[in-house]
Amino acid sequence: METILQGTAEIRFTHPDAFREWVREHKRREMVEKLMTEGEAVSRCVADGDYIAYDFSSLTRGPQALVREIIRQRRRDLWICAEFTLHESALLVGGGCASRIDVGFLGYGNYIGRAVSDGRVRVFDWTNGALASRMLAGARGVPFMPVRTLLGTDTLRHSGARVVHDPFTGDPVCLVPALNPDVFLVHVHQADVFGNARIFGTNLFALEAATAARKVILAAEEIVDPLEFRKDPARTTIPYFLVDAVVHLPFGAYPGGVQARYELDLEHIDKVNAIQSEEQMQAYLAEFIYGVQDHADFLNRKVGWHRLQDLARRATIREGYH
Amino acid sequence: MIEFTDTEFMICTAARLLEDRKTVFVGWGMPQLVAMLAERLYTPSLVQIFEFGAIGPQSLIPFVRGTMGGPSNVYRSLQWSNMNWAFAYAGTGYVDYGMIGAAQIDTFGNVNSTLLGGTYERPARRFPGSGGGNEVASLCWRTILVMKHEPRRFVERLDFMTSPGYLDGPGGREKVGLPRGTGPWRVVTSKALFGFEEETKRLTLLGVLKGLSVPEVLDGMEFRPLATDLVEEIAPPADEELRVLREQIDPSGIVIRGEKMRAAR
């Protein structure tokens, strides 16, 4: 197939066979307990230079405690998949952790916009749908996914997509390369110690990304008996063999919410969004991330029992989330 | 006289465009309020689709800002799925309307929501980028663009083309491989309503807010939109629309605030 047009973005790409071989070597098939602290999970699974993806959004069921741990451990030169990403991209850049961002949606606040304009972080423009398709290709073990989007736009020219003539219709079609992240972070409602997991409500690409990633860190609101999964297997979102680390992190999506568990804390979110200057950013990181030992310490000293109970009490919509 | 904000006018005008018993892909923020208002006053059987896989939500009011995926915004959906499936429905032609915002548009309805000024590597101002906007503009049958009316936003040449309108004119979309029969349909601004002329696919003025003149609306634009013979007068927000918006949907005024406007009833 002749390439008609090729986008200019640098891409992180793995040959499907290389990925398969990595899985054969490294992913454990036996059911072993993977419960560990967030500190252990990040130090084992996240290395400098890694490509990181996450699900769902910054404000709902996002892996915020894991992101804070990555910043606390001062990982460097990360490449992040910014889909539905709001304040955590700013925090990762502010913490000096992220140097490249694949953009689906990169909001919000002036801090991240200025970091891009100042050249402190490089962005490559894709779209939410293109990144989801890339993840699907990565999960299928195929090198690319054809899509009928991006076509004709600057988004395509600045992405890493290519346009070819489709051999079936003869029409131009856009090909997006498979994405196999080094690490996928996901916060779930329930998990067992082996890594079987349930997500209630919508998701971006939780199963696709868990399948496509080399390493998966699962943060769970609740650890449940493994038998629960066998009693109701249709509700399993992610099976254990995709998962490398399970971390029990109640309120781990804070300041975002988790459906039917606790509401988001808009006051804290507004505080993060109001960050404009480097000074404000460093002050925030010092107080809320570097200045605490771990997630439990963060909740105890920076959020507090009363606040958490109030957020939990406000999560009154339960139907559908069980 | 009736007083309202530019945002309220956009929301009301867009809500009146939606068709009942159809499907609409709803973008983040203002389009959510458009759909909520339409659902309550005009199109009770409109089926909304959110890009992360909420199909047919009946969002609770008051509107909860920010978290489109939170429990109140995806309340009583018909299906909770994921992004690849939401775009699968659009890709196979099940989605009639799409609604997205824009920072700039050109005469063919091409959209910029990525950056303004400078270079790609060092933009003067950086915005969130496509999000799912490119998918909506590529795959839905009819796309509605919602944009604050500022002449500098109507440009000859976009600083960056994020999402496709008619590209370089008639046949442009088909030539690059976009699904045939799709494209921008209406542009709702805080002063006017535009469509696209069938033959040339160029932006065409359809209506202006009651009390405004055509030159007042078009002054300062880099290109001159076509105008129909009879440019309609668009009614300002009705009392009932404003009541529902202000009292029920957005009582904290977080989205509907904006520049004050007034018009005769």
Domains of chain B: which residue ranges?
2-255
* 3-state SS, residue B208: strand
Q: Which of A204, A256, A207, A200 is nearest to A224 (CA)?
A: A200
Tell me, what CATH number does A96's domain have? Answer: 3.40.1080.10
What pLDDT shows up at residue A81? 96
Q: Which domain holds residue A237?
A: 3-313
Question: In this structure, are strands A98-103 and A122-125 parallel, antiparallel, or unpaired?
Answer: parallel
- Mean pLDDT, residues A265-271 taken together: 93
Report the top-level CATH class of B2-255: alpha beta
- Indicate whether A321 belongs to any domain: no
Q: Tell me the ipTM for this assembly.
A: 0.96
- Indicate whether A319 belongs to any domain: no
Residue A311 has pLDDT above 80, yes or no: yes
What pLDDT shows up at residue A1? 76
- Mean pLDDT, residues B3-30 taken together: 96
B98-111 tens-digit pLDDT: 999 999 999 999 99
Structural domains of chain A, count: 1
Residue A202 has pLDDT above 90, yes or no: yes
Burial A230-262 (b: 16+ CB within 10 A, else e): eeeeeebbbbbbbbbbbbbbbbbbbbbbbbbbb
- Indicate whether A92 belongs to any domain: yes
- Indicate whether A296 belongs to any domain: yes
| Average pLDDT along chain B | 96
Report CB contact under 8 Å: B82, A152: no
- Indicate whether A322 belongs to any domain: no
CB within 8 Å of chain A, chain B residues 91-110: 91, 110
- Indicate whether A320 belongs to any domain: no
What pLDDT shows up at residue A108? 64
Report CB contact under 8 Å: B118, A117: yes
- Mean pLDDT, residues A103-124 taken together: 89
- Indicate whether A116 belongs to any domain: yes
Q: Return the structure tokens found at A264.
A: 């988001």
Between CA B206 and CA B210, with CA B207 as vertex, the angle to 5 degrees is 170
B193-233 tens-digit pLDDT: 999 999 999 999 999 999 999 999 999 899 999 988 889 99
A31-62 tens-digit pLDDT: 999 999 999 999 999 999 999 999 998 899 99
Residues 6+ away with beta carbon under 8 Å from A304: none
Report CB contact under 8 Å: B52, A154: no
A57-101 tens-digit pLDDT: 889 999 999 999 999 999 999 999 998 788 899 999 999 999 999
What pLDDT shows up at residue B176? 98
What pLDDT shows up at residue B23? 98
Known active-site residue B51: yes
Which residues of chain A does B254 touch, with a Cβ-Cβ cutoff of 8 Å?
Answer: none
A231-248 tens-digit pLDDT: 999 999 999 999 999 999
B50 touches chain A (CB under 8 A): yes
Residue B51 has pLDDT above 70, yes or no: yes
B42 touches chain A (CB under 8 A): no
Is the alpha carbon torsion for B123, B125, B130, B133 positive or negative?
negative
